[in-house]
Amino acid sequence: MTKDFPSEEKFGLISQLRRASISIASNLAERTSRKTNKDKAHFTTISFSSAMEVLNQIIISKELNFISEKDYILVREKLEKISNMLNALRNSQL
């Protein structure tokens, strides 16, 4: 999605979006190595927070006309599903 962003965003919004997206999966992977539910919930919470960061960044991207309405809706729907699953997972660990 970020390949069509302006080149001046390479170290700004592009980098932030990519790092936050990777953080969702990376923190879920890290939680699998934790033994206690409290530790697992901590990394699930970080994943959820990264999903919210991505949501904020796609809203900004849409407002700056870096992404189309169609792409915005598609990504937002996927993020809603992901965040709902993360929230349910976190709740099951508490």
- Is 19 inside a domain boundary? yes
pLDDT at 75 over 80: yes
CATH number, residue 70: 1.20.1440.60
Please give the average per-residue pLDDT across 63-82, as a whole number: 96
The structural domain count of the chain equals 1
What's residue 1's pLDDT?
Answer: 83
**Long-range contacts formed by 64-68: CB under 8 A, 24+ apart:** 64/13, 66/4, 66/5, 66/6, 66/9, 66/13, 67/1, 67/4
- Is 1 inside a domain boundary? no
- Is 48 inside a domain boundary? yes
- Is 3 inside a domain boundary? no
**Residues spanned by the domain of 76:** 8-93
What's residue 36's pLDDT?
Answer: 92
pLDDT tens-digit map of 23-68: 999 999 999 999 999 999 999 999 999 999 999 999 999 999 999 9
- Is 2 inside a domain boundary? no
Encoded tokens for 14: 């592009």
pLDDT tens-digit map of 1-13: 888 898 888 889 9
- Is 79 inside a domain boundary? yes
